[in-house]
Structure 1
Amino acid sequence: MCDEAKSNDDVQEPSLAEKFSKLLRELEHYNEIEQKHTILEMNGMVEEMSEEEFRSIFTIELFDTINRMIEEMMISMENAILLLKHVGYYKELKCFICYSFDYSSLRESMKEMIIDENEKKKDEKLLTDLCECFALLGDDDIFDEILSIVVPCLLKIASKKEESKKVQKEMEMSLLALSCIDENDFIEQKLYLNEIKEIIKYRREHHNLTRLAYQSAWKFLIYRSYNDESFTEVIVNELHFVREAAKELEDLSKCMDWKRKEERGKETEDEIVLMRWFEMLEIYFRNCRSWNEEYSGLIRSISQVYRASRDNCFGIQLQCLYSLREAAENKDVKTDNFLESGTIGLYLEEIQRPTLDDKMAYEYLLFFTNVSKRLKIKEKDEKVEAKRKATKMESFGKMEEEGYEDVITSFHGIFDFLNSEYGYELSTKISDYN
């Protein structure tokens, strides 16, 4: 009896990958209604997957199998889309990177289906579903020949003015799919600019988009600026991205549960959207070539989120630091923004904490290097130079009060270690920090 009990205990529970693969194989033997019920169960599994599990399950072979099942009519197109769209939605929502779809036969088949459906112009819903799946599932560039189909198709859904929950979900899905179109994919402005501007402006007045949909609309537009500097004027001065980003960070921060992860459970959608904003802000600060007076407010909002997330949400803390690092490296963001926003004071507090993590120390030191370097560069314009001198005097005065030089000197012994661990960027000269 003891041996029997022991052998039962030794039987391992099938892994998530094994369960998912088993259900996929069983789909071939089910009718359409049974398939739908099984796919809904599989979709529930997708929502629980970690990035590692997602990559192990959604291989090139799995996407090839789904393609074969569609071609051999072992699964209806409606059910295939029910599965694939859900997979793509959660892959993008959680920012998973997985190139398997890009190298599968399903990608090529789906591209041909999009072209074919667009030519037939009979089933608008099917075309939209195919475009959403194609954009959401891939991580590689989209084929140029179908961008002119995909973008207008998705914008048409995203431009709806109704405010029902169902329509909001449709708009969210389309905008999320649009946000997946890589910055390297060139799209003619006439295909999207007026429409995406109207979507953003309408939402501001009527609040008809979810937070995720609104963030996705901005991400799509920010990506377009990657290859076109003329977008800076539209994004910064016409649509007031900086002001809107600050407001969204503040609103999301108020909705967040800032308890430790083990206390608050799995990620909420607000937490996911907040992370997506920071990932987008990194890109924005890296590419932005314009400045206005609203920047100080955005820098302040990032610093406030950092304070709120401190000790409990390490991932969000790091995203705040990455965004501020990109801002400090961007010459179009004024150094006095970091003083006015309280960021320099915050970093001076943080770098002196006794429990400081090495990664955090590296980020603080890198920030101070960038700010100090910029404060030393003389300006040709007399008014700008006077402002620089005043900012420098105030900044270094505050640093001196906080014992900044002694703190930096205390880190000197680990500069080489931090450089080898995190990127070989820190100067080993103490003079570069003051």
Structure 2
Amino acid sequence: MNEVIEEMDEEGLESVVTAEVFNGIYTMIEEKKVTMKNILLLLKHVGCCKVLKRVFIDEFEVTSLNKRFEKMIIDENEKKKDEKNEKLLTDLCECYLLLNEEFPSELLSICVRCILKEALNKEENEKAQKEVEMALLALSKCFYFGKLDKELYLGEIKEIVQYHQEHHNLTRLAYQSAWKLLMSRFYFNKSLEDEIVNELHFVRETRRELEELSKCVDWKRKKVEREKETKEVIVLMKWLQLLEFFFRFCSFWNEEFVGLFGNVVQLFRASSGNHREIRGECIDFFRAAAENKIMKVEGLLKGRAIDVMMEEIQQPTLDDANAFRILRFFLIISERLKKKEIFETDEAKRKATKRKIFEKLEEEGCEDTFTSLYGEISFINDKCHDALSLTISEYFVII
């Protein structure tokens, strides 16, 4: 059954992970036709596939099975230490987090505390690594960590990240999940930024992970030849999504960012033609960086982000979603170069950057491309539910 579920695409998984199926499983448990142990193994795998395939399912929340799990978690948690079945409680909590989309504060607190014990396991055998991977994947669902005290469990999360940096005991998916967990704390506590960048070396670690994952991807395989994405592709996309999130909210510039832009440019070019989803994530990352006024336009230029965005907007295969993202990118760049920015002290450097970008756009004929897209902007706005400027000159960098 696990293999069947793993082979399903997003649509197939959505068609079987329904309230009717979950209620059917509940009935089988009540009638003792299947053991709880086997059901938990199956449902953890279903939940894992659901998260990796980015399938949003909210039907589990209204099922009898979910209500039974909630009661079992609370009851097991309230038992005395010598009576408590820690393995059962951990499995229940992982299923609960993986299959639900929202969590009551009481249950979230129980689940996080319980699953973190599993995630802190430092054994390096394959079985332990898989269990830690599942635990961290389940915890990475908890963007609602803001409901907990801002310092609660922060030390444990940092310990997991730092221990892996020294001993490399986690799988790639587990390590990315640990960082996502840490970033969820950053969302509610911006004071963590210095630790994330300078103590835990987020940029260095991300660059290494992107480089290693990139080596594992068969970039030449056509999409029609890929019945399912490899785990490496999925994890790579999750890193790009995490980068986009961080660069939207980070509040200080670091020269390491230029090298990171270069890594994402390499991914963007490697994914040309065969991995549209990865290209879309790269574009979203560059747009997020451009929108954050702490990110230097000169850094985007040095990191070649502007080069690939110019190349992409002129592609005949450009779709509406990416056309919107790239037009938005150049609209922001143009707006930012028109006036002095936050913390900017060197006016001559800003003007030099502006001239370099102007010359690049002129050399590549991008102004003509923007003009040719003018008639499409209203259509793109309607389709993407957003508002690009209808004044075409606002996309140009003018000296």
TM range, smaller chain: over 0.9
Report the count of equivalent residues: 392
Among 389, 407, 416, the alignment partner of 2:369 is 407
- Distance (whole Å) between structure 2 residues aligned to residue 320 and residue 188 of structure 1: 33
**Mapped pair 1:376 → 2:338:** yes
| Cα deviation 1:215-238 (Å, max 9, x = unaligned) | 100111112222222222222232
- Asked if the contact 2:294/2:342 (under 8 Å) is kept, the reply is no
What is the alpha-carbon root mean square deviation over aligned residues? Answer: 1.9
- Asked if 1:125 is matched to 2:87, the reply is yes
Cα offset for 1:427?
1.3
**Shift in alpha-carbon separation, 1:382–1:228, aligned structure 2, 3 A:** closer
**Do structure 1's residue 188 and structure 2's residue 149 form an aligned pair?**
yes
Distance 1:358 1:182 in 2: 30
| Residue in structure 2 matching 1:289, options 246, 251, 272 | 251
Q: Is residue 271 of structure 2 the alignment partner of residue 312 of structure 1? A: no
Amino acid at match of 2:264: I
State which of 56, 59, 68 in structure 2 corresponds to 1:109: 68
Distance 1:242 1:194, change over 3 A: same
The equivalent residue for 1:88 is 47
Distance 1:131 1:331, change over 3 A: same
User: Offset of 1:78 from its aligned partner?
Assistant: 0.7
Distance 2:331 2:126 in 1: 48
- The alpha-carbon deviation at position 180 of structure 1 amounts to 0.9
Report % sequence identity.
53
Q: Alpha carbons of 1:423 and 1:386: their partners in 2 closer, same or farther (altered >3 Å)?
A: farther
- 1:36-89 deviation per Cα after TM superposition (whole angstroms, max 9, x unaligned): xxxxxx222211222222222121222222223333433221111121111111
Pick one of 362, 384, 392 that aligns with 1:422.
384
User: Using the alignment, how far apart are the partners of 1:328 and 1:381 within structure 2?
Assistant: 16
Distance 1:371 1:183, change over 3 A: farther
1:43–1:83 CA contact under 8 A, matched in 2 = yes
Does 1:260 find its partner at 2:222?
yes
Which of 76, 86, 97 aligns to 2:56? It is: 97
With CA pairs under 8 Å and 6+ residues apart, which has the higher RCO, 1 or 2? 2
CA contact (8 A) 1:291 1:333 kept: yes
Structure 1 residues 380 and 132, CA gap change in structure 2 (3 angstroms): closer
Residue aligning to 1:155: 116
Say whether the 8 Å CA contact 2:150–2:188 is kept in structure 1: no
- Asked if 2 retains the 8 angstrom alpha-carbon contact of 1:135 and 1:181, the reply is yes
TM-superposed CA distance for 1:179, in Å, is 0.4
- C-alpha distance in 1 between matches for 2:93 and 2:7: 25
Match of 1:68 in 2: 27
1:256-297 Cα offsets, whole Å, 9 max, x none, are 101212345531110111122222223223333333222112
Which of 308, 327, 330 aligns to 1:346? It is: 308
Moved beyond 6 Å, runs of 4+:
none
Within 1, Cα distance between the matches of 2:279 and 2:188?
Answer: 30
Q: Select 2:165's aligned residue among 186, 189, 204.
A: 204
Q: 1:184 Cα shift? A: 6.1
Shift of 1:380: 6.8
- Any gaps of 5 or more consecutive residues in structure 2? none
Contact 1:111 1:146 in 2 (8 A): yes
Contact 2:5 2:49 in 1 (8 A): yes
- The question of whether the paired residues in 2 share the 8 Å contact of 1:279 and 1:319 is answered with yes
Query: Within 1, Cα distance between the matches of 2:348 and 2:67?
Result: 60
Q: Which has the larger radius of gyration?
A: 1
- Aligned equivalents of 1:230, 1:382: Cα separation in 2: 23
Per the alignment, residue 3 of structure 1 pairs with: none
For 2:173 and 2:301, the matched residues in 1 are separated by: 31
Retained in 2: the 8 A contact 1:236–1:242?
yes
- Give me the whole-angstrom Cα distance separating, in 2, the residues matched to 1:100 and 1:61: 9
Tell me the amino acid that sits aligned with residue 386 of structure 2: Y
Aligned residue type for 1:129: D
Deviation at residue 329 of structure 1 after TM alignment: 1.3
Question: CA separation of 1:207/1:184 partners in 2, compared to 1, >3 Å: closer, same or farther?
Answer: closer
* Counterparts of 2:255 and 2:178, CA distance in 1: 24
Give the match for residue 299 of structure 1.
261
Contact 2:252 2:294 (8 Å CA) reproduced: yes
TM-score, L = length of structure 1: 0.85
Aligned to 2:209: 248
Q: Deviations over 1:104-144 (max 9, x none)?
A: 222222122112112223211111111111111112x2111
CA shift in 2, pair 1:327/1:183, >3 Å: farther
Aligned twin of 1:45: 4
Equivalent position to 1:223, from 168, 184, 187: 184
> For 1:191, what is the secondary structure of its paired residue?
coil
| Superposed CA offset, 1:346-377 (max 9, x none) | 22222223443333333221111111111213
